[in-house]
Structure 1
Amino acid sequence: MASTTTEQTAIEEIGPGQFRSIFNPGRMGNAKPIAYGGCTLGVAVRAAYSAAVPSTHHLYSLVGHYLGPASTTEKLVCTVHDTRTTKSFATRRVVVQQVQPTTTNTGGEQQTHMRMCMELIADFHAEEPAAPGMTYSAAPSRAYAGPGDQSEVPAVLTTVLSAAEEATVQRSRDVFSLNERFLETRPCREGVAAQNLNGVLKSRPTTQDALPLADRTSAEWVRNKHPLSTPADQAAALAFCLDGGLSFCR
C-alpha cells in the first residue's frame, strides 16, 4: 500500500517508451474495486515526464479522456509516444492500459488482454521570462478566508449530529480515506461543500440555499502531507487531486 502520492504515482520502465506503476491504483468514492481516476492521471503524468522530456521544459497543459474504469487489482501500464520535441515545446501522448481479468476461451485455455483506461496529451514548454502583463489569474466569485482560518475537519463535523448523520459521516470518511492518507484538506466554511460534507448530508441547510443553483460555490485549501522533491512529483500530485469530487458535482 502506497503511503504518499509520490509512491502512489511511482512507475518503472519496462521497455522503450513503456512504464508500469509500482503500486496498484487505489479506491476512493466507490465501494466497488474501481480505481480512483486521479491514480490513473498521476501515473500518466509521471510516465510523460519519464519519456526523455528535456529538463528545460515544464508541464503546462494536460488534455485527456478516461476510456474505461481502472481496476484496483492490477497495475497500470503506460505507453508514451513522442509527438514532438522542439526548443520550445515537447508533446507526449500517453496511452494507459491495464490487464483485463483472465478469461477462458472455448478451448479451455486461459487468456488475458490489455484494456484501455485513458489517453492523454501532455504538453511541456521551455521556461521563459514572464512577460509584463501576461500573468493573470481570475479571482474567485466570493471571498474565502485563508487556510489558517479553516478547520481540517469540515465545519459541519463540529456541530451536533444525529446518530444517522454520524454514521453517514463515518462511511464517507472511510470511502475517501485515500485522500486523507495523502492530503491535508481544509474546506472553506463559506462554501456549500463544507456545510453539507460534499453533499453527503443532503438535508443539511447551507448559507447559500437562497441563491440560484449556478451561483452556489465551494472552495478548499489542499496541500500534500509529504515532501515533493521534483517537478514530476509535484505535477503528479496535482494531477492526483484533479479528479477529486468530479463524480459528485451536480
Structure 2
Amino acid sequence: MPAEYDFLRLIGVRKTDDPWVFEAVSLPGRAGNQQPIAYGGCAIATALNAAGQTIKSEPRFVPYSVTGHFLGPASLDERYVCEVQAVRDTRSFATRYVTVKQKIKGEMRSVLALTLDMIASKLSTREALDRAKATGKEAAKVQSLLRYQPTAKTQLDNIVKLESNDEHLRRRLDSGDLDEFQVEAYNEFLGLWNNVFDTRIVPESIMTQNLFGLKECETSQDHLRIPDRRVFDWFRLFQSLPPAREGNQLTKGGPDGQLPQTTVMAHLCALGFALDGGLAFAPVSLSNEVMFKAGAASTLDFAQRYHTDVIDANKWMLREIQSVTAGWQRTFSQAQVFDLDGELIASCSQQCVLRPAPGALDDDDDEGSGPSAKL
C-alpha cells in the first residue's frame, strides 16, 4: 500500500451551506469493473459517512441494516454530493435516507439511494463489554434469548500460512502459471481494493484459481453445482482506525473541511465499502467463464445486514461469496463475513445485471448487450 494512501480521505465529506447536504472531499476510485466508472463501494461508504454526521453519538447507535439501489454509473471525475433525510429518530432507532448525486453532462444526477438503519446498543459500550468479559460471558449472548450462526466453509485457523496478494501473484508469475498481461489486468481491476485492504489468498477459492476469470483453467470446484461453489478471501483495513469499542472517539478530520467520524461510523464505512466488492463479477468466476465475456456486470440493488454490535475493520475478516441464481441477464449473489473466531459479522446480498459482450454468445444478436448498454 502506498504510504500516503488514506481510506478515510477517500470517503471523507465536508459541510455545505445546507446542514443536511454533504460534499465528498475526494474523487471516487475505480475497482471491480472493466468500464471507466467508479467503484460502488466508494458511493456507499461516502453516503454512510454523510448519514453518520447527522446521528447523535449518545446513546451508542450501531448499524443493523444498509439497503440501497444504484441508479446509474458514477463518474471518476466528479465528487459525490450526499443529500441526507432524517426518517426516524427515537430513543431506540435512527434511520437515514441518503441520495448520492454527481454532476454528469452539466446536470446533477442521482447515482445511489441508500437507507441506513441503526439501533441503540447499551450492551456494546466499553463498560458493558468489559463486564461481560469479566464474567466470562460472550457479549452476544448477554440478555439474548437465542444465539446461533452458520459456520464458514473454509478453515479459520491457518491465516498465518496464507500468501499475501503480492506474494501469490509473484509466485505464479515466476512459475509461468500466469503471464504479465494477466497480472497487469488483475492489478488494474483490483487496484483500489488492494490499496485499501491487506489481503490473504485462500487456495481453494475459485477466484484465486482462475484469477477472477482472467485465466482459463480447471478449478478444484468444477465438480460442484455453481450455487455450491465458493469464493473466499481474508481482508483487513490497511489504515488503522481508533479501537472499535471506543464509540464516542472521533477520527481526525482533514484539509478542505473534511469532517471527523465517530469510531462506529468509521468501521461501518470500511465494511460497507468492502461488502460491495466482487459480487457483481463473482458469478462469472464461479461459472469458470472468461471475464471478457461479460459486457456489463453491475449491481442493481443490495442489502447489507450487520450481525454484531462491534464492527472491527482493523482485524482480519473472512469473506465467503456464493452465487444463488442467474438468468434473464441478472444474477443474485450473497456474501458472508466472519471474524477469526468464526463469528458471523455481516452479510450482503446483491441483485446485479450481467450482460454478455458482443460476440460472446453463439446466438448473440448484440441487442441490449455490451459495454454500451448503460444502466
The separation in 2 between residues aligned to 1:19 and 1:189, in whole angstroms, is 42
RMSD (Å) for aligned C-alpha atoms: 2.1
The separation in 1 between residues aligned to 2:144 and 2:49, in whole angstroms, is 32
Q: For 1:126-165, what aligned pairs fall within 5 Å after superposition? A: 126-129=120-123, 130-143=142-155, 146-153=158-165, 155=168, 158-159=171-172, 160-161=175-176, 165=179
* TM-score normalized by the length of structure 1: 0.87
Alpha-carbon spacing, 1:45–1:136, altered in 2? closer, same or farther (3 Å): farther
Task: Select 2:269's aligned residue among 230, 236, 248.
Answer: 236
1:100 lines up with 2:104 in the alignment: yes
Report what 1:27 is aligned to.
30
Number of aligned residues = 238
Alpha-carbon spacing, 1:41–1:219, altered in 2? closer, same or farther (3 Å): same
CA contact (8 A) 1:58 1:126 kept: yes
Report what 1:216 is aligned to.
229
Letter in 1 for 2:176: L
The separation in 2 between residues aligned to 1:141 and 1:30, in whole angstroms, is 27
Q: For 1:124-203, what aligned pairs fall within 5 Å after superposition? A: 124-129=118-123, 130-143=142-155, 146-153=158-165, 155=168, 158-159=171-172, 160-161=175-176, 165-201=179-215, 203=216
Secondary structure of 2:95's aligned partner: strand
The separation in 2 between residues aligned to 1:156 and 1:213, in whole angstroms, is 26
CA displacement at 1:149 relative to structure 2? 2.0
Report what 1:105 is aligned to.
none
The separation in 2 between residues aligned to 1:140 and 1:52, in whole angstroms, is 34
Letter in 1 for 2:113: E
Q: Which has the higher mean CA deviation after the structures are superposed, 153-162 or 35-44?
A: 153-162
Letter in 1 for 2:230: T
CA displacement at 1:179 relative to structure 2? 1.1
Report what 1:225 is aligned to.
238
Report what 1:120 is aligned to.
114
Letter in 2 for 1:24: L
Q: Which has the higher mean CA deviation after the structures are superposed, 127-136 or 166-175?
A: 127-136
Task: Select 1:90's aligned residue among 91, 94, 104.
Answer: 94
Identity among equivalent positions (%) equals 32
CA displacement at 1:141 relative to structure 2? 3.2
Alpha-carbon spacing, 1:144–1:215, altered in 2? closer, same or farther (3 Å): farther
CA displacement at 1:119 relative to structure 2? 0.6
Alpha-carbon spacing, 1:20–1:114, altered in 2? closer, same or farther (3 Å): same
CA displacement at 1:145 relative to structure 2? 5.1
The separation in 2 between residues aligned to 1:63 and 1:172, in whole angstroms, is 29
Report what 2:306 is aligned to.
none
Letter in 2 for 1:138: P
**Where in structure 2 are there 5+ consecutive unaligned residues?**
124-141, 243-262, 284-375
Report what 2:76 is aligned to.
72
Report what 1:104 is aligned to.
none
The separation in 2 between residues aligned to 1:138 and 1:207, in whole angstroms, is 23
Report what 2:15 is aligned to.
13
CA displacement at 1:45 relative to structure 2? 0.6
Report what 2:308 is aligned to.
none
The separation in 2 between residues aligned to 1:115 and 1:47, in whole angstroms, is 18
CA contact (8 A) 2:55 2:94 kept: no
Letter in 2 for 1:210: H
Letter in 1 for 2:38: A
CA contact (8 A) 1:47 1:80 kept: yes
CA displacement at 1:174 relative to structure 2? 2.1
Q: For 1:36-51, what aligned pairs fall within 5 Å after superposition? A: 36-51=39-54
1:248 lines up with 2:276 in the alignment: no
**Where in structure 1 are there 5+ consecutive unaligned residues?**
102-111
Alpha-carbon spacing, 1:11–1:40, altered in 2? closer, same or farther (3 Å): same
CA contact (8 A) 1:4 1:181 kept: no
Letter in 2 for 1:7: R
CA displacement at 1:155 relative to structure 2? 4.5
